[in-house]
A = this chain, B = another copy of it.
Amino acid sequence: MDKVDLRKLASELNLSVATVSKALRDSYEIKEETKQRVRLLADKLNYQPNLFASNLRQGKSRTIAVVIPEIASNFFALVTDGIQAVAEKKRYHVLTYATRGNYENEMSTIKHLENGRVDGLLISLSCETQGHQHLNRLKEAGIEIVFFDRVSQLSDCPTVTTDDYTSAYKATEHLIQNKCKRIAFLSLPDHISINQNRKQGYIDALKSKNKVVDNRLIIPCVNEPEKDYLIVRDVLSRKNPPDGIFAVVEKLAIATYNACNDLKIKIPRQLKIITFSNLPTASLVNPSMSTITQPAFEMGMEACALLFRRIEKKYLSNKTEHIVLKSNLIARKSTAK
């Protein structure tokens, strides 16, 4: 079975390649009867246009890239799912890249996107990301960028985030109300905006209750499972250990649960825990875990829809959209009095 291309269709139909191409693109220039003949044969021979040829010619790709720190996380998996759902409807293809929280990876990935391979980029920054030259160059190359969750404050790109400051404030308040005196904030590396917002919410909530903000209770983790576990266990083994943990991501909460099991610390009696999380088993763990749950799937959909708005009508892009979605605080047993 030879390859079916426009030339083949054209010769079988005694038409020119130009006419066949236009017919398949439903051009007003072509009469209905011809269009039908063309479509019929194209279907019969299962013609599939060569995307590289048409992308090259048209200068667009109907493809977007998604760059995330990791795939195997409930949050990012749900976001990606939401992105796919929207992209699929638009008949766009989705290239996914995991940076593993590594800045070098992120830079080289983005550099490889500069050749027009994609029309747009949805990105959640890796933990280590600091500079923005690589993203600026991409923008200059005419590729639309939308940040989600872990956004950059330095660029004027559109963003989709959740109300991290407010959620963190409420979560801290919740711990205080349930009698926590020494609340440890388990954080990711510091230059992530999301982390800064959450930390600020935590700090402001403490201040508003006239609690002293103790720097030793802001625990920077490193985003490596084993090391994070050791850091957490270390904190819980201190002479004057915390009686409340506010974890900025779910894997730190899991590390805390594991450390408590190993150290025989009772949750919530000796230690209360709340965390940002999209774990489907939050209500099933022992004890059930209080969470702030982000609308991850929705975030993916919103971010992708926003990206398409930008791709499809660039001329309107003088204003920069910032969408903020609400997270949900669900109190369970891990923070019970």
* Interface residue ranges, A against B (CB under 8 Å): 1, 46, 48-53, 55-56, 61, 63, 70-74, 77-78, 80-81, 84, 88, 93-98, 105, 111-112, 114-117, 137, 140, 251, 254, 257-258, 261, 279-281, 283-288, 297
Contacts and interface: CB of A to CB of B under 8 A. Distances in A.
A296 to B, nearest CB: 8
| Chain A contact residues: helix, strand, loop or mixed | mixed
B52 A61 contact: yes
Contacts of A286: 284-288
Given A72-B74, A94-B96, A49 B254 contact: no
Given A50-B115, A72-B81, A254-B280, 18 more contacts: A46-B111, A46-B137, A48-B115, A50-B56, A51-B117, A52-B116, A71-B71, A72-B74, A72-B77, A84-B96, A84-B97, A84-B98, A88-B105, A93-B95, A257-B284, A261-B284, A281-B281, A285-B285
A53 B56 contact: yes
B71 A116 contact: no
6 contacts: A56-B56, A72-B78, A88-B105, A93-B95, A257-B284, A281-B285
B81 A71 contact: yes
